[in-house]
Amino acid sequence: MFCFEHVKTYNKGYNYFDGLSDSEIARYQKEALTGHRPTWTVGVNGDARKSPLKGSKKAGNAASFSRMKDPFGFVDDGKEGGPKRPRHQRKLKTLEAKAFETLGMTAEATPDDIKKQYKALVKKHHPDANGGDRGSEETFRAVVQAYQLLKQSGFC
């Protein structure tokens, strides 16, 4: 319980950092920026380092991959000699099924196969290749629409 004059005198003579080295003062100032609470760099998560993908001892490395669910085959892709999984199939919508039928293909076709078939059909049914035949022109439009639909749906 000091009077105001004694408080000013006491505060002038008080030094919190008295007896600390320069490095300790610098550390205190750095920690003061975050409220003296622990922080981590962006994107670093201790639990993520222990996941099977990071190859921790606890996870079992290669053995842990066999226990992981991988419906899209990302883990097996790129390994030579590894088992090839069939592409993930989803139920086709009516228009998608008609588009595959228009191109004369099945839903198991790869994007490269779809693109090759599209190019072949466009060359075959293009009006310039058929002398302006109207029947071929309608087929040409149907092929172009089918390919655009499959492209928008993510098949190629």
CATH code of the domain covering residue 109:
1.10.287.110
User: 112 and 148, same structural domain?
Assistant: yes
* Phi-psi category of residue 104: left, alpha or beta, with phi > 0 → left and psi -120 to 50 → alpha: left
Averaged pLDDT for residues 4-24: 87
8-state DSSP, 113: H
Closest CA relative to residue 52, chosen from 37, 63, 38:
63
Confidence of residue 117 (pLDDT cuts 50, 70, 90): very high
Rounded to whole angstroms, the Cα distance separating 145 from 99 reads 8
Query: Residue 98: how many CB atoms within 10 A of its CB?
Result: 15
Tokens at 104, concatenated: 């004369």
pLDDT in tens, 50-99: 555 554 444 444 544 556 666 676 766 555 555 554 555 678 889 999 99
User: 139 and 114, same structural domain?
Assistant: yes
CA angle 63, 65, 67 (to 5 degrees): 85
Does residue 150 contact residue 114 with C-beta atoms inside 8 Å? yes
User: 35 and 2, same structural domain?
Assistant: yes
Domain span at residue 34?
1-39
